[in-house]
Amino acid sequence: MNTIIDVFASASSISDEDVRNKIVVVIDVLRSSSTIITALINGAKEVIPVEDMSAAGKIAQNLDSSRYLLCGEKDGITIDGYHLGNSPFEYDEDVVKGKTLILTTTNGTKAITKAQFAKKVIIAGFNNADAVVEELKKHNGEIAIICAGWKTRISLEDQLCAGYIIRKLMQGVLPDNARDGARMAFVISEKYENQITEIVHLSNHAMRLIELGFEEDIAYCSQLNSTTVIPVLKEGTLINDNGSEKSNTVR
């Protein structure tokens, strides 16, 4: 496979040209990726990722209040007045089925909106990593992996997931044309390939979530290949690219 792959450590420096005509994979292990995946597993009609609360409010104004849920967090805490936060455990079937979810998070949804001019945008985490790899094998052209990071800073867990996807996609051999970002993620994944759960728990962002009482979320978001659901961005909305398939994700 001769695909050129790059990895961006955070979304802060992404320009339109960095993603234009490319397949983009957005990773926010803790926790947007898993939350979006879980919502779609449990029957949410769609997830609309927005950059901030102002954008969320404008979209909500144009929808019937019975059809949508305002969802998201700021600095890990559920936004005051919102229906749901950013814990995947809040997104049960009886809560989200058939609903449009308007989601804003500190890092993840900002990264997704940065990728809006890409050829295709896929949401990945450890939960659906192998399914994402299989999807990427279907495409030719450049791949850009955007790690959400934490407020412009690198996040170890996102890099680890990016490296896992690259290693699986390239069958363990990094091509000579790989960009520096891809090389760094590849090396991190090689070093910690058998310690995913432990390393994610040791990351800075995991420590923040533990302090906020979300330790259970970290274990959930570290589950490897628990689902084949692939959220894909279409016309500004995330939908399940694998149709109505019900996942075997452990809750």
For residue 251, pLDDT beyond 70: no
pLDDT band at 164 (very low <50, low <70, confident <90, very high): very high
List the chain domain ranges. Answer: 5-230
Tell me how far apart the alpha carbons of residues 124 and 130 are, in angstroms, rounded to a whole number: 9
Fold annotation for 5-230: putative 2-phosphosulfolactate phosphatase (3.90.1560)
217's CB contacts (< 8 A; 6+ apart) are 30, 31, 34, 87, 88, 89, 209
pLDDT at res. 1:
61
Q: What is the value of pTM for the model shown?
A: 0.94
Q: Is the pLDDT of residue 249 over 90?
A: no
d(CA 194, CA 135): 24
Coil, strand or helix at 238: strand
Q: How far does the chain reach from its first CA to its final CA, in angstroms?
A: 36
Residues 6+ apart with CB under 8 A from 32: 86, 103, 105, 107, 108, 109, 112, 123, 148
Q: Is the pLDDT of residue 115 over 60?
A: yes
Give the pLDDT confidence of 205-232 residue by residue, as tens digits: 999 999 999 999 999 999 999 999 999 9
CA distance 185 to 187: 5
Write the DSSP symbol of residue 203.
S
